[in-house]
Amino acid sequence: MTERAATVLVVDDSAFMRKLIAEMVESSGPFRVIGTAGDGVEALQKIRALKPDIVTLDIEMPRLNGLQALEQIMAEMPRPVVMLSAAGSELGNEMTLRALERGALEFVRKPSGPVSIDLSTVREQLKSALEAARAMNMGGVRTPTPDASVILSETVSRKSPDAATRVVAIAASTGGPRALAEIIPSLPEDLGAAVVIVQHMPGEFTKLLAERLDTMSVLWVGEAIDGKLLRENRVYLAPGGYHMTIKGEPGNASIRLDMSATMWGVRPAADPLFFSVADAFGSSVIGVVLTGMGRDGAEGLRRIRVAGGKGIVQDRESSIIYGMPQAALAAAGADRIATVNDIAPLIRDMCADVAKGIGG
């Protein structure tokens, strides 16, 4: 039986890009372009009329930009949205990250410069994003977290950090920025552990994501730096393009960054981080696997639990993509399966139990 083609609306203010993207969509598998739109206003009209399964949405457009259009789509007629952004634009990067926090599934760089040079790369990224859109759980998309200015008062006290004796290691991919924006700002300033995160994302976005989370959180959040001592009550995000591992022992462990071969097709990958914290911290580790495609983090979580650490896996209902949590559950099991809203309180309570030496 032939697989039904998913219908796609292509939105871009450039007629050339609309044509190019439409051709790439239709060459990517069981996808059919049902229409195109030149800006956000027209996009909303077309979505209401054509009811496409998936929308590709340009970020920077006249009248109604991609971020504004996305917010209306998610409020009125939620469906998988893949953002398209031009390379090298700081504003575009900021808007793309905000779009991922507000429910966009994934983003793809538009072809730039001599189109033939990077067209094949963009085509593969778009194909992966469209395949993720077919697997997307729309039930996992809820009202976005308010901006940092709403979450925090103007003055935020931050406890002076000491060398970490406990670690929380988090793996995230597709849907991760949105989940992290729920979890990290909800962690307390006296957590008593270092938090290390791998989010599958290019370098310019991991830096921006760390900055965004830092403004939203009572804990300090930043990109990890090679050789730095791991300190409690700090959150370290692996930079795009580098694997992050932890070397040493509790109370004297440091961050290592390297550009060794990709794992599961990505760098950073969560498994190298999880392997390293299992070896260095043993029973003083809490491993967390969040939404994402693939199986990164599954074997790592198994090793954490074998070493005596705890495991939390995001549940199917709140995961944008259930691939990574499902693989982790199958490989490692879990101490708790939790909604994205419940993960921060669980981390807090588990950190307190580890500090008291409570097992089981």
The CA R_g of the chain, rounded to the nearest whole Å, is: 20
**Residue 200 falls in the annotated catalytic set:** yes
CB of 277 closer than 8 Å to CB of 301: no
Query: Which member of 284, 296, 315, 318 is catalytic?
Result: 296
Amino acid at 26: E
The pair phi, psi for residue 289, each rounded to 5°, is -115, 120
Query: Which member of 173, 186, 217, 319 is catalytic?
Result: 173
**Residue 296 falls in the annotated catalytic set:** yes
**Residue 319 falls in the annotated catalytic set:** no
Q: CB neighbours (10 Å) of residue 127?
A: 17
C-alpha distances out from residue 218 to 98, 122, 262, Å? 20, 38, 33
Label the pairing between strands 54-58 and 81-85.
Answer: parallel
How far is residue 102's CA from residue 310's CA, in Å, rounded to a whole number? Answer: 30
Query: Which member of 200, 214, 271, 315 is catalytic?
Result: 200
Catalytic residues: 173, 200, 296
